[in-house]
Amino acid sequence: MSDRRSDSKVVRFGDVTLDLRSGELMQNGNRLLLPEQPFRILARLVEQPGTLVTRDELRRELWADDTFVDFEHSLNAAIKRLREVLADSATNPRFIETLPRRGYRFIAPVERVTGQSTEDVKREHVSASAELLQTIESTRRQRTKWIAIGVAAMALATGLVAWRVWRDVPGDSSDTLSRGRLTKLTSTAGLNVEPALSPDGSMLAFASDRAGTGNFDIWVQPVGGGMAIQVTSDPADETEPSFSSDGASIVFAKRETGGIFVVGVLGGEPRLVVPAVRARTPRLSPDGKSIAYWTGLPVSISRAAGASGASFVVASTGGSPRALVPEFASARHPVWSPDGMRLLFLGGRSATEAGLDWYVVRADGSDAVKTGAFDALREAGAASIRDVPIPSAWTNDHAVLTSTTARTSSNVWQLGISAAGQVTGAPRRVTFGTAVERSPADGGHGSIAFASLMENVDVWRLPLAPKTGEAGGPLERVTDNPAVDMVGNVSGDGKLLAFISSRAQQNEVWLRDLESGRERQFPYSSAFDVQVSLDRSKIALWRGEAEKREVVIIDSSDGRTSRLCADCDRSFGWAPDGSRVLFARNQPSRLYMLEVAAGRERLLADHPTWFLRQGRFSPDGRWIAFFAAMSPDKRQVYVIPSSSARASQESWVRIVDDVGFQPSWSDDGSMIYYLSERDGAICAWVQPLDPVTKHPAGPPRAVQHFHEPHLRAGTTAIATNDVRGGYLYVTLTETTGNIWMLHAEK
């Protein structure tokens, strides 16, 4: 057994280096993100390699003070997260062996690194990387050669890499395949996403933050093994690549500056095809003459806000884009049929979710047919009622590859769709991993590439400068759990956080004491949002499934519940004294205030087509801020008095006139914080107000930018937020991921 008092606090196992002093975890020179509790477990295990560490020992040493936490669930979640980061498997472990009902044992050899720190390790890898960069630069000089020569040069420069097998897939006991073999194409600790395969299946293009510049770039590498080369390098995010039919060029989206671009497969100066704000998923037609794309907000965000997106087709040489189906309220993620005669898209004719499905339409936008894919996929268990299946590719054998917006796990499925828009056969699950598997790309001959992501959604907070309202310090993590944790709000004294968490495998209400860190669970399933009254006595919970949604009031002392109203669609904020609460009804959208004790309700604002959301009382209770979602690209923040009868739209005080949502008042009511995607990513902004009229006083100011690909607001979880006690609380998503390829069995 190793001496736990050894002077050396740097250990190595496999290709991983762990510094027990600094908490840094490195793999091949790249930093691995590991939450606190999984790190403490790992440190405990590697200090006694080969020795059983019992669950009781871990409880006593790591969870002794957390009497409000479900230990069994927390330990299991921490071990799962640890295995995900280390790319370990419960059924075929390289590092951590599970002894059922007893504990865990670290089975890999552990080497104590005397006199070396992780900084030394990083310097070693920087030196090695310099040689690789010279090789890549040499390859880039060959751009004028034939593509085949360029691919060969990359392969020769770096050597062929042996295929990685399925046992390396991050996940747990269910990580098995129905057929075929799996290969890991990228291996970095950063974020590699949105794969595309060349028509002959020889090259992979993808978006990655591996350059270390804090943004996504497009990279290309041979599928058969070899180093990736960077083909774009703009400070803006360059994402969602797709190959041309001859494999010579790549079309991609640039969201911040807005537009669809084309670049050579080995780099060069990108060419703007069409300017478009929030352009997404460009796809070249099989004949290479047209590009289909859509604009708008990500599906997970737009569903929550009531907005949608619009699809377009433009000539690959440029020109004016044509709206694909302008009569549809929503049309997103268009993909071409194998013959290029039709397009399949995710959409609906109305702004509600009722008609949301996959539709097939002729390339000229005529003869739209609803496929019924949603019902087929949900009946097969591919998606729940709250998950949206995203079409990614329409293969030559008339199957559409898809994954869902599920936040904790998502597999790749395929569903047969005929050219006439009819579902053919039953959906088939292609992958069986426990990670989040997204963006499948067709490689032909039954092979697909996809991104396997590890997403950690937690609550963070940012200290605020009292005078300016801008960031007054660095971001701080509040919750640290492999499950999805989303901000509800914070009590009036700034000491109690109410949030939604999926720790029990379903969304439930949790309360966290922000001083002690102790947490309390309220086992009410299917929760969408939670708001604790400022005096902590009551909790408004919005919950339900599909059309059976309700708002209930929970007594925080004993957990007793009562229904807020019979047909409430959503719940929002509490008045400062806890006597009133805001809620909404839809179709049309209406914002109400309810006097809880008397049961009296009053209409505050309504609109026939917009969606009114996130009502919040000002600190003195005299004003109400909310936002209206009126189009895919436009959501505005407004303020109305709380004391008046129904406020006409003309009387609403507009606070944000481009893109703003999720408003929260400053502690003194002099400013409104909100989230906006005006600069390409969802970031926090603040608007100073006139103290009397509440009209904007001066321009808005950026509070905190969330442009880093690995830590962003509003990815798979809604970017909820609240301001209390001098802090901005916000839901952020940490993401790491790599590209895998599934080869069909011959």
Query: What pLDDT is stored for residue 158 in this prediction?
Result: 35
> In what helix (H) or strand (E) does residue 140 lie, and over which residues does it extend?
helix 118-140
pLDDT value for 124:
41
| Cβ atoms of 597 and 579 closer than 8 Å | yes
Q: Of 374-383, 500-509, 585-594, where does mean pLDDT reach its minimum?
A: 500-509
Query: Where does the pLDDT of residue 164 fall: very low under 50, low under 70, confident under 90, or very high at 90 and above?
Result: very low
180, 726 in Cβ contact below 8 A? no
Region 19-46: mean pLDDT is: 77
The predicted structure's pLDDT at residue 448: 93
pLDDT tens column, 650-704: 999 999 988 899 999 999 999 999 999 888 788 999 999 999 999 999 999 999 9
| Element of type H or E holding 739 | strand 727-743
The CA distances from residue 358 to 333, 417, 421, 585, 739, in Å, are 10, 10, 9, 27, 26
Does residue 353 sit in helix, strand or coil? coil
Residue written as tokens 């509440």?
Answer: 694
pLDDT over 90 percentage in the chain:
43
Asked whether residue 318 carries a pLDDT value surpassing 90, the answer given is yes
Residue 352 binned pLDDT confidence (cut-offs 50, 70, 90): low
Mean pLDDT, the chain, whole residue set: 82
CA distances to 375, 527, 675 from 570, in Å: 25, 11, 20
At 96-136, the pLDDT tens digits run 988 877 889 998 888 887 654 444 444 443 333 333 334 33
Planar angle of CA 712, 715, 721, nearest 5 degrees: 65
pLDDT-derived band at 74, boundaries 50, 70, 90: confident
Question: Can you give the pTM of this predicted structure?
Answer: 0.70
pLDDT band of residue 221 (cuts 50, 70, 90) is very high
The predicted pLDDT at position 175 comes to 34
For residue range 433-464, list pLDDT tens digits in order.
767 889 999 988 778 999 988 888 899 999 99
* 163 pLDDT more than 50: no
Residue 633's CB is within 10 A of a number of other CB atoms, namely 16
Residue 331 has a pLDDT of 93
Q: pLDDT confidence of 319, banded at 50, 70, 90?
A: very high
CB burial class (10 A; 0-12, 13-18, 19+) of residue 179?
exposed
pLDDT at 148 over 70: no
Per-residue pLDDT band for 29 (boundaries 50, 70, 90) equals low
Radius of gyration of the chain (CA): 26
**Neighbouring residues of 596: CB distance < 8 A, sequence distance ≥ 6:** 538, 553, 578, 579, 580, 581
Determine the average pLDDT of the residues in 362-375: 94
pLDDT of residue 2: 37
Which among 151-165, 276-290, 408-422 has the top mean pLDDT?
A: 276-290
Whether residue 156 is predicted with pLDDT greater than 70 in this model: the reply is: no
Q: Is the pLDDT of residue 61 over 60?
A: yes
- Give the pLDDT band of residue 6 (cuts 50, 70, 90): very low
- pLDDT attached to residue 188: 80
